[in-house]
Chains A and B, each alone.
Chain A
Amino acid sequence: MTDHARISAPRRSLGPNVAGWLLVSPLALVLSAFLVLPVIMIVVVSFWGTTEFSIYPAFQFDNYAFLFGSEVTYRVFLNTFKYAVITWALTLGIGFTVAYFLAFHVRTQTWQIALFLLCTIPFLTSNIIRMISWIPFLGREGIANSALLSWGMIDAPLDWLLFSDFSVILAFVHLYTLFMVVPIFNTMMRIDRSLIEAANDAGASGWQTLAFVIVPLTKPGIMIGTIFVVTLVMGDFITVRFMSGSQSANVGRLISNDIALLQYPSASATAVVLLVVVLVVIGTLLRFVDIRREL
């Protein structure tokens, strides 16, 4: 019997292993075919050479040399970070407030769900349309300027409302705040209410409860929202192109310009650098909070 048990023991532990492999393989296959392979391809192409019409396989550092040798690259990366940081701060402020209201001020679950769904309604229309609809609103002869003029608040139309960094960030905040609201709301709903009661009983003021109980417990949600917003903003090119009237550039636009001019190796090199930068940013963020603990 003991002999038999000893022999069958490894066989029994192999069972769950096989099941595990089978469970994970569909996703692994899909990801490796549609994510890992293309990324490898991009890395490979980033070392290729280019002529007027074609690209040819090679292993050269020309693309990277040009990228790091150009002052424009650094300026554009700086601009990309600027957009990401400002958008992050604003979406966090708005997103946290909205989630807090939904989670702690709305009493009944029915209303919570109803109001939460209300937040998602804008997402029923296309991203691009929601963005472009700002253009006639903010334009020199747009609704915003004509309203301000008729109220006598300004004497001449405000040019900086459209085709400026202001309009770019406005569009980003408008488009991406929900990505902050959802994860923060989700973690807030999991906070044990007795902890807040305990804080009250212990004599904490509202602000102290917020700062020492709610915010620390909401950190994983904040971090997930941050990852969404930062990656979306850093990878964007179309919002920057339309809302700045092609006047400003971020890394995404640098890549899209290269693609339009058939400079695929150069576009790949830029994409690789962007990927590395975004991964470093996310890796750093994840060191602050263990999001898995709270999921």
Chain B
Amino acid sequence: MTTISKIRYSRRSMLKTGGAALAATALPAPMIWGQESKNIVLRQFGTGVSNLNDVANKVKEDLGFTLEMTALDSDSVTQRAATQPGSFDIADIEYWICKKVWPTGNLQAMDVSRIARYDQIVGIFKDGKLRDDSVIAQGTAPHTVGFVPEPGATTFADEPTNWMTLIPTIYNADTLGIRPDLIGRPIRNWSELLNPEFAGKASILDISSIGIMDMAMVCESMGEIQYADKGNMTRDEIDRTIAIFTEAKRAGQFRAFWKSFDESVNLMASGEVVIQSMWSPAITAVKSRGIPCVYQPLEEGYRSWGGGIGLSSALSGMELDAAYEYINWYLDGWVGGYLMRQGYYSAVPATSKDHMSANEWGYWFEGKAATGPITSPGGDVLAQAGDVRDGGSFEARMGSVACWNAVMDENQYMVRKWNEFISA
């Protein structure tokens, strides 16, 4: 009993210092609620990126309730969010998945006035602009599906309202990964993926919704196709894009395709592949084996993605209050710091700063040279003093996003064409 009450007190003090006072005052009897909260179980599911057991453990420690995490691949996540609303309380999904799932009515809009740090959330998720002069990228930009006009609405609002669909949690800018030691010259454009110089040494990911975007970046960079919107291609554009890659495949451009994170790491680390589509933590994994690997910034810009947490429409009462408390805690910085030390960005970078060392903050966010060794949350050394993050600062990376991960109107057609490409 004593340990339980200790946890409760630490939760209460955390609430105060954490500044989530809004959530606390909104509760009729915080003390009673605090006692019962330890029995609350919130079921969260999502992609593996942010469904981390460390987060669930920290929630138990700080907030007292239990967060059950289920990690699935993005196709299964979409299906579950769309078809099994009763199976989850919190959906950790990407913004393009939100575009598909929101119209089903399985998620409920969030009251912005209950989000303590709403004002500090970066502009990308509100008006779409990182800076006032930013140009909004193609694809499913998060702000276009970030708000609804009123609770219960199934269409999205054009401007920020008091009702948010997802609270942004994690996002990043993706590009090509290269082995600088095996290439030996600067790489500046997406078109290099199909450069015959790398015949038999290139790879692309075999996940249609993301792979097609990487293909589009390459085709546009080659000057072969100009897309009206890479995130929403016409059938003709899909055909032409796949045709270019099928030809390259038959000519032996690709060593392999990868589907899982580990495969991409092994292909790169073994030297089978010297240039390929890659995700940020995969680069980190290759580097931590002592093998040089660069997340190469390219002139055409990045392919970006963002995820957020949404609330099931079935959530109400005490569980709903706990979910709001969880969201406010999420934005308070501990998770942000944890994720930023893996190379991702958090929605409220300012609070993450408090949970990172000055060296880490300078390296990961400001693009400064490291003043000492940089380690992953797991303890592996990722960079030495003097190293600079590939692509530089947050502003430089997120400021040159060319397109966002998206879901197309012609999605099913695209999937079939993708299957043909893999079988070609």
A residues neighboring B (CB under 8 Å) = 52-54, 66, 70, 72, 75-76, 135-136, 139-142, 159, 162-163, 244-247, 249, 253-254, 257-258, 260-263
Contact = CB atoms under 8 A, between A and B. Distances in A.
Given A245-B255, A262-B79, 13 more contacts: A52-B100, A53-B82, A53-B104, A75-B423, A135-B266, A136-B270, A141-B270, A159-B200, A163-B255, A244-B256, A258-B419, A260-B73, A261-B415
A72 B246 CA distance: 12
Interface string B66-83: 000000010100110011
B271 interface: yes
B419 A53 contact: no
Contacts of B256: 163, 244-247
12 contacts: A52-B100, A52-B411, A53-B82, A72-B424, A75-B423, A139-B270, A141-B270, A245-B203, A249-B422, A257-B422, A261-B419, A263-B415
Contacts of B351: none
A273 to B, nearest CB: 15
Contacts of A54: 82-83
A266 to B, nearest CB: 9
A82 to B, nearest CB: 14
Central interface residue in B206, B208, B266, B272, by most chain A CB within 10 Å: B272
B326 interface: no
Q: A66, A247, A253 — which one has the most chain B CB atoms within 10 A of its CB?
A: A247
Contacts, number: 73
B257 interface: yes
Interface in B221-262: 249, 254-259
B197 interface: no
Contacts of B203: 245
Contacts of A261: 75, 208, 415, 419
B380 interface: no
Contacts of B79: 53, 262
Contacts of A260: 73, 75
B181 interface: no
Interface in B242-298: 249, 254-259, 266-267, 270-272
Contact of B419 (A135, A141, A257, A262): A257
Given A53-B83, A53-B104, A54-B83, A262 B75 contact: yes
B420 interface: yes
B257 A247 contact: yes
Nearest to B78: A53
B75 A140 contact: no
A246 B423 contact: no
B39 interface: no
B257 A246 contact: yes
B270 A247 contact: no
B412 interface: yes
Nearest to A259: B75
Which 6 pairs, one residue from A and one from B, show the smallest C-beta to C-beta distance?
A: A245-B256, A246-B257, A249-B423, A53-B82, A72-B420, A72-B423
Output the residue of A139, A141, A245, A249 with the most chain B CB within 10 A.
A245
Nearest to B252: A159
A72 B419 CA distance: 9
Interface string B52-74: 00000000000000000000010
Contacts of B78: 53
B104 A140 contact: no
Contacts of A135: 266
Nearest to A263: B415
Contacts of B82: 52-54
B423 A140 contact: no
A52 B412 contact: yes
B105 to A, nearest CB: 13
A159 B259 CA distance: 21
Contacts of A159: 200, 255
B37 to A, nearest CB: 34
Contact of B258 (A244, A246, A257): A246
A79 B36 CA distance: 61
A136 B271 CA distance: 11
B271 A141 contact: yes
A54 B82 CA distance: 9
Most chain-B Cβ atoms within 10 A of its Cβ — which of A72, A140, A261, A263? A261
A54 B101 CA distance: 12
Contact of B206 (A139, A141, A142, A246): A246
Contacts of B423: 72, 75-76, 249, 253-254
Contacts of B272: 139-140, 162-163
A254 B419 contact: yes
A183 to B, nearest CB: 33
A242 to B, nearest CB: 9
Nearest to B424: A72
A76 B255 CA distance: 20
Nearest to B420: A72
B416 to A, nearest CB: 8
Contacts of A258: 419
Nearest to B249: A247
Contacts of A141: 270-271
A162 to B, nearest CB: 7
A196 B156 CA distance: 84
